[in-house]
Structure 1
Amino acid sequence: MNTTRTDKNIWPGLTYQDPLAQRDWLRRLGFEDGVLVEGDGEGEVVHSEMLWPEGGRVMIHSACKQDKTFSAQTGTGNLYVVVGDPDAVYSRAQDLGARLVREMREEDYGSRGFSIADPEGNSWSFGTYAG
């Protein structure tokens, strides 16, 4: 299994009613701040990125953007994040009071992980399976 691959050519993007709160939530899970471009509207986020320290990023933006191209739905995403230490992320998720979607478990394909929902309903799975 190749565990050294660093994927950087697909960046999922999610729409939020409160993208600044989502950035804070992700930061508390272990993500790091990336680009933040705020718009003219109050709380409007035109473009932002949150970086996973082990590689990868996710774009977070406002549902209230002037450009509605990618702002139609909130709470419908499902992302998988590869982690070296899922227990540490699980602990941070518990500290956040995140809603557990799937308990921490060992999978028959060799992964250890769990799933939670963010405050606006998107599912985030964290596990050791790296493809």
Structure 2
Amino acid sequence: MSRTVYAIARYHDCQAAIDFLTSAFGFRVHEVSKDDQGEINHAELMAGDDLIMIGPGEAGGPGIYIAVENADAHHDRARVAGAGITMELVDQPYGSREYACKDPEGNPWYFGTYRP
């Protein structure tokens, strides 16, 4: 399958972001590229079969939604790992159970069971 759209998040400290995202959200490292000084300039993380790209820059932005099988377990894992919960678990009228949080640099993340 060829993908067309990729989520991107920016971080001041990409290695710390990778450590957090793998610990808190269960992402897997797919690829990490470094510049001549050994600094990460691009990384790709897997969320299930989907790819998220991260790189250096200002954190923030519109946010990223990730569909998960068990929103409650995911929420608990993220909270324990230090994610700042911005919306507690809620059952949405369109059938999703979801929550929202921010990572340590302030990027907004949304997780739920909705799969369009």
TM-score, reference length from structure 1: 0.81
RMSD of aligned C-alpha atoms? 1.6
The alpha-carbon deviation at position 8 of structure 1 amounts to: 3.1
More strand by share: 2
The alpha-carbon deviation at position 7 of structure 1 amounts to: 8.2
Query: For each residue in 1:48-83, what CA deviation from the matched residue of structure 2 results, as whole angstroms up to 9, or x when unmatched?
Result: 101012x211101123xxxxxxxxx32224000011
1:100-119 mapped onto 2 (5 Å cutoff):
100-119=85-104
User: Where does residue 26 of structure 2 map in the other structure?
Assistant: 30
> Are the aligned partners of 2:82 and 2:104 in contact in 1 as well (CA < 8 Å)?
no
Q: Structure 2: where are the runs of 5+ without partners?
A: none
Q: Structure 1: where are the runs of 5+ without partners?
A: 1-5, 64-72
SS of 1:110's equivalent? coil
Which amino acid in 1 is paired with 2:51? Answer: R
User: Where does residue 45 of structure 1 map in the other structure?
Assistant: 40
Aligned residues: 115
Which of 62, 66, 73 is the matching residue for 1:88? Answer: 73
TM-score, reference length from structure 2: 0.90
